[in-house]
Amino acid sequence: MPLTAGIVGLPNVGKSTLFNAITKSQVEAANYPFATIQPNVGVVEVPDHRLDRLSELFHPKKTIYTTFEFTDIAGLVKGASKGEGLGNQFLSNIRLTDAICHVVRCFDDADITHVEGSVDPIRDIEIINLELIMADLQTIENRLGKIERKAMTNKDKDALHEVATLKKLQEAFEAGKPARSVELDEDELAMLKAFSLLTLKPMIYVANMSEEEISDPQANVYYQRVKELADSEHNQVVAVCARIEEELSSLEPEEKKVFLNDLGIAESGLDRVIKAAYNILDLCTFLTAGEDECRAWTFRKGMLAPQCAGVIHTDFEKGFIRAECYKFEDIDALESEQAIKEAGKLRLEGKDYVVQDGDVLHFRFNV
């Protein structure tokens, strides 16, 4: 299942503009026949200069980037956890996401009315966070109502452990703190997985600012406040201009480069959001290269070679023999697999090898 970030935000903060840019930039369905793209889902390619370089060297028939999904989460407004707006309709969508991208308004514009009457990104963040906390509190209290009496009566060890963990979270939620702020061990996190708690998901703040200010976000006072808050929460913040992203989404790659250079911006905001999502979810990329296809594949940091083989096909994992492996940096410098072999840079790795970001792999397997 592809990894997904849910995009949330109050009305008139630029969420819809940013999502329009994402859906315009999304992949061609023909290249990804297994991706069912829903109207509220945008599937975008993850930019990777290493894959571009491999394509230059191998001249493959196809180049396939790895992908990331963004889901537009509608209905998240003040009072949503109590049934305001679209009420709890947003919950089922947001629970399925791996991370949350919270778009906050960091620009002044008299022509665009803010739902709260003024621009204050910290207040907006607190409104959304409170709705997520209240939804999680309801989940925890529902579970406690079912299990607490049984745990106390039967003195069941697992049930008592669950109650203790849920009580710890209940206390945090009642104090207005997210689940991310609670110290939880591996057993507690494993037990909580079934609840899909919203405030346990990693958060990226997307600071939407004006076209004039995007080239120097640090000069924007609103951005500074969001950055300070994000740092205190160990979350990430990415500065974007949703209007520029919408313009970029209709341009060809070369036109995009020229447009960004003219603005004095190194890379698009959408690319930075994708990279931040990768980073916050501990994701990496391994590569496969050949005359037929050069391709990037997503895996979680710490995965072993057979597990990464399984990312390509389950048969590869079942019948794994070994992986032929070299670093991207080596082929970038030496420019051919023959030169890699002659320089002694090609390695044979077994079942215990921990795959690294940027490894170029060829799996040997027997089914």
Q: Is 273 flagged in the annotation as binding?
A: no
Long-range contacts of 229-232 (CB under 8 A, 24+ apart): 229/122, 229/125, 229/205, 230/205
pLDDT at 30: 53
More confident residue, 110 or 269: 269
User: What is the Cα–Cα distance from 346 to 367, expressed in whole angstroms?
Assistant: 24
Q: Which of 48, 335, 18 is nearest to 207 (CA)?
A: 18
Terminal-to-terminal C-alpha distance of the chain: 24
Long-range contacts of 295-301 (CB under 8 A, 24+ apart): 295/51, 295/62, 295/63, 295/64, 295/65, 295/66, 296/46, 296/48, 296/50, 296/51, 296/64, 296/65, 296/66, 297/66, 298/3, 298/46, 298/66, 299/355, 301/357
Q: Is 355 flagged in the annotation as binding?
A: no
Asked whether the predicted pLDDT for residue 298 surpasses 60, the reply is yes
Enter the tokens of residue 133.
Answer: 């906390």
pLDDT at 96: 84
Percent of the chain with pLDDT over 90: 46
Q: Is 155 flagged in the annotation as binding?
A: no
Residues in the chain: 367
The confidence band for 28, taking pLDDT boundaries of 50, 70 and 90, is: low
Contact 174, 184 (CB under 8 A): no
Q: Is 279 flagged in the annotation as binding?
A: no
Q: Is 27 flagged in the annotation as binding?
A: no
Per DSSP, which regions of 146-258 are E strands?
203-208, 236-240
3-state SS assignment for residue 75? coil
- Residue-wise pLDDT for 239-278, tens only, equals 999 889 888 888 888 888 898 888 888 888 888 898 888 8
pLDDT at 291: 92
pLDDT at 222: 94
Asked whether the predicted pLDDT for residue 201 surpasses 70, the reply is yes
DSSP code at position 366: -
- Backbone angle region of 264, left / alpha / beta, with phi > 0 → left and psi within -120 to 50 → alpha: left
Asked whether the predicted pLDDT for residue 34 surpasses 50, the reply is no
Asked whether the predicted pLDDT for residue 283 surpasses 70, the reply is yes
Q: Is 146 flagged in the annotation as binding?
A: no
Structural domains of the chain, with CATH: 4-47+66-118+201-280 (3.40.50.300), 131-199 (1.10.150.300), 302-365 (3.10.20.30)
Q: Report, as an integer, the average pLDDT of 322-337.
A: 95
- Residue-wise pLDDT for 213-230, tens only, equals 888 899 999 999 999 999
